[in-house]
Amino acid sequence: MREIFEGVYELKGRILTKNLDKGKKVYGEKLIRIDGEEYRNWDPTRSKLGAAIKCGLKTMPIKKGGKILYLGAATGTTVSHLSDIVGKEGEIYAVEVAPHSMKRLLQLCETRENIIPILADARNPAEYQEVGKVDVVYEDVSHPEQASIMNKNSVFLEKKGYGLFAIKSQCIDVIKSPLQVFKEVEKELSEKYKIKEKIDIDRYEKAHRFLVLRKKE
């Protein structure tokens, strides 16, 4: 086993994180014990960031003790792995607009105290302005205004903070080609961010691209 990023491991083609809540699964993932430690398999078919790692991600700004604003937390699949990475010293502010998803997310937060659930619309950052400054804004929102949402939420980022962003082309425009949608989204994001990496994750998520962004000064 080797550590490919801080808190992220690779073993025989599997991506793993050390389980912060030992003995418990979040979404049916496999638990693996190695040298007395328990790790969780990070399924790239269930997580855009997991897919990006499998497809060659080079920059991973999420680290132990980090403060993350996560937009579109859903039931907490990817959030749970970020929880493993940032550890008890870190904080993840998990924003979700759907009440039915929030119910599952709240269950996760009962045993993972570094996740703070927020029932709110990511299009309206004023609803959760008490979050304050964060190291990373992560967006995985199924909405035609994906880029606008990411730009609005840049106000939470520390100077030169990072953005992690999953473009879902079919949620934006089903008529245009994914490449055209990607180009238009990247142009809009360039108002607030520099694009550091572009990773096509089509083999795991059809018509998706994952971006690593850096906030402009």
pLDDT of residue 193: 97
Local structure of 14: helix, strand or coil:
strand
Q: What is the CATH number of the domain that holds 71?
A: 3.40.50.150
Q: Does any domain span residue 13?
A: no
Residue 9 lies in a domain: no
Count of domains for the chain: 1
**pLDDT (tens digit per residue) in 54-64:** 999 999 999 99
**Mean pLDDT for the chain overall:** 96
| Strand-by-strand arrangement of the 67-71 sheet | 115-119, 91-96, 67-71, 134-139, 157-168, 208-215, 193-200
* pLDDT at residue 106, as a whole number: 97
Q: Which residues, 6 or more positions from 35, have their beta carbon under 8 angstroms from its beta carbon?
A: none
Looking at the domain assignment, is residue 15 inside a domain?
no
* Pairing, β 134-139 against β 31-34: unpaired
34 belongs to a structural domain: no
pLDDT in tens, 94-127: 999 999 999 999 999 999 999 999 999 999 999 9
Residue 167 resides in a domain: yes
pLDDT tens-digit series, residues 189-206: 999 999 999 999 999 999
Asked whether the beta carbons of 179 and 24 are under 8 A apart, the reply is no
Residue 27 in domain? no
Residue 198 lies inside a defined structural domain of this protein: yes
d(CA 43, CA 24) in angstroms, rounded, equals: 16
Domain that holds residue 184: 43-215
**pTM of the predicted model as reported, rounded to 2 decimal places:** 0.96
Q: Please provide residue 170's backbone torsions phi and psi, each rounded to the nearest 5 degrees.
A: -70, -20
Nearest CA-CA partner of 112 in 162, 151, 77 = 77
Specify the pLDDT at position 171: 87
Q: Is 8 within the bounds of a domain?
A: no
Confidence of residue 174 (pLDDT cuts 50, 70, 90): confident
